[in-house]
């Protein structure tokens, strides 16, 4: 990554009271955007001020889709977590950074912004000012990015049922693809190493050089695989400590003591969407319990039996909490989204005891459950090729159609499946049993 350079958009100021109505409408659409459309709406909102060949968002908190992207296919299909991680690590604060960085496999001019609170990263490739009002462009872009970053942060923290279902499917698909690629490349490199170490090769210097390069490549490949797994899973002890941090303000200002019973440190790691949901559920239960009269203490405990995360939250109130209370009903919908169970035991005069069970593995789905998408025969063929990992050129050659026709079918698939990228389409197809 090269050093930052001056850019025509820097040095401007934004006067919020003068925002035009089109921008206000974009802000409203962005604030209400689902995660699958957040990149597209952010780019649309920025377009009157800043153009780009691609827009990429990278955030670790969103385990299902750490990348949200829109733009040129050659860029968004090739950009990697490793590239984004390297760029983000080089940014020290929220100051917009202009320079050259490797994105999508080659150096490109980029604008990069990091969100201080969540660590989320925004990357715009080939940025260029648009429209007559260049002076306020960068501040508007920064303002819109902060809204988008906060939207992602709140969406993940709230862990609504729709997010949990989509995130689980996407996480599983990413892990599967990464594992297959790791096995494939590891086998190739290990075979190459075996050949180079063979005594029949007499060029010792060549063998030593290539052996060293291949060994380093193997290490890097394993590191990337571990990085992907880290994004998709969270150690149970780490997830519980984050819960303590989330509830710290409640214990400070509510006057209610919250007791934490830690899970075993060697318990099975939690899928990211389960960890997010568990924290959101406990926060919701704690708030519901604290709203009751005469509650002075709330106790929460996590455990893991290898297949499920087991959550228990209890209070020392009068036992006024009920299973059909609106707050409990909303939490139960989140639990059901992950095929879990929630049970409320109430003893009048002795408090409420809530038990939640969240499965760590997604449930099996019947094969080929895609009838509800109303796909045309050709669209289904294209989707099957996407699931197989084929690029547009390969799909066009196999089906005897042009690449533009393939792109047309892919766009229609995105609309019918309500997804924003090939990765999301593949994840959703896998979650419906399409192989």
The CA angle 149-155-158, to the nearest 5 degrees, is 135
336 vs 343: which has the higher pLDDT: 343
How many Cα atoms occupy the beta-carbon half-sphere of 89 within 13 Å?
A: 7
pLDDT interval class at 429 (50, 70, 90):
confident
As a whole number of Å, the end-to-end CA separation of the chain is 39
- Looking at the chain, the whole-number percentage of residues with pLDDT higher than 90 is 17
Residues with Cβ within 8 Å of residue 263, at least 6 apart in sequence = 236, 237, 240, 301, 302, 303, 304
Indicate whether 113 pLDDT > 90.
yes
Residue 99 reports pLDDT greater than 90: yes
For residue 311, the model assigns a pLDDT of: 94
The structure tokens listed for 119 are 């660590």
pLDDT per position as a tens digit, 24-33: 888 888 888 7
3-state DSSP assignment of residue 24 = helix
Residue 250 has pLDDT above 50, yes or no: yes
- Three-state secondary-structure class, residue 4: coil
Buried b (16+ CB within 10 A) or exposed e, 17-55: eeeeeebeebbeebeebebbbbbbbbbbbbebbbebbbb
Q: What is the pLDDT of residue 266?
A: 80
Q: What are 390-409's pLDDT values in tens digits?
A: 888 888 887 878 888 888 88
Residue 164: strand, helix, or coil: helix
Q: Check residue 26 and give its pLDDT.
A: 81
* pLDDT-derived band at 20, boundaries 50, 70, 90: low
pLDDT recorded at residue 184? 57
* pLDDT(330) > 50: yes
Question: In which band, very low, low, confident or very high, does the pLDDT at 154 lie, cut at 50, 70 and 90?
Answer: confident
Cα dihedral 413, 419, 425, 431 sign? negative
Average pLDDT score, the chain: 79
Question: Which pTM was predicted?
Answer: 0.52
């Amino acid at each position: 990554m090269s050093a930052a350079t001056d850019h025509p958009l820097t040095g401007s100021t934004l006067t919020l009271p003068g925002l035009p109505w089109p921008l206000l409408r974009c802000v409203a659409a962005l604030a209400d955007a689902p995660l699958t459309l957040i990149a597209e709406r952010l780019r649309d909102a920025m377009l009157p001020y800043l153009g780009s060949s691609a827009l990429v968002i990278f955030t670790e908190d969103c385990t299902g889709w750490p990348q949200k992207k829109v733009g040129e296919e050659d860029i968004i299909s090739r950009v990697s977590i490793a590239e984004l991680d390297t760029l983000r690590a080089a940014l020290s604060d929220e100051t917009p950074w202009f320079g050259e960085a490797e994105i999508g496999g080659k150096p490109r001019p980029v604008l990069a912004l990091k969100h201080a609170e969540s660590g989320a990263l925004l990357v715009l490739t080939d940025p260029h000012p648009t429209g007559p009002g260049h002076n306020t462009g960068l501040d508007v872009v920064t303002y819109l990015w902060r809204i988008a970053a906060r939207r992602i942060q709140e969406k993940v923290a709230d862990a609504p049922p729709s997010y949990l279902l989509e995130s689980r499917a996407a996480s599983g698909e990413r892990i599967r693809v990464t594992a297959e690629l790791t096995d494939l490349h590891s086998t190739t490199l290990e075979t190459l190493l075996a050949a180079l170490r063979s005594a029949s090769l007499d060029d010792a210097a060549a063998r030593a050089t290539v052996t060293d390069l291949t060994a380093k490549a193997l290490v890097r490949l394993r590191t990337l695989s571990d990085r992907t797994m880290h994004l998709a899973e969270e150690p149970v002890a780490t997830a519980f400590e984050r819960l303590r941090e989330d509830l710290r303000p409640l214990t400070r200002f509510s006057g209610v003591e919250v007791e934490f019973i830690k899970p075993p440190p060697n318990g099975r790691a939690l899928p990211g969407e389960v960890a997010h949901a568990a924290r959101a559920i406990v926060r919701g239960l704690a708030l519901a319990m604290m709203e009751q009269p005469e509650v002075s203490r709330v106790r929460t405990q996590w455990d893991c039996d290898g297949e499920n995360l087991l959550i228990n939250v209890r209070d020392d109130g009068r036992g006024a909490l009920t299973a059909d209370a609106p707050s409990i009903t909303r939490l139960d919908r989140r639990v059901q989204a992950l095929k879990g169970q929630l049970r409320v035991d109430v003893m009048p005069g002795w408090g409420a005891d809530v038990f939640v069970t969240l499965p760590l593995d997604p449930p099996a789905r019947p094969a080929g459950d895609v009838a509800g998408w109303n796909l045309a025969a050709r669209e289904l063929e294209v989707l099957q090729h996407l699931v197989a990992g084929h690029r547009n050129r390969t799909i066009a050659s196999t089906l005897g159609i042009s690449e533009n026709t393939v792109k047309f079918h892919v766009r229609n698939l995105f609309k019918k499946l309500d997804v924003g990228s090939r990765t999301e389409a593949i994840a959703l197809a896998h979650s419906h049993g399409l192989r």
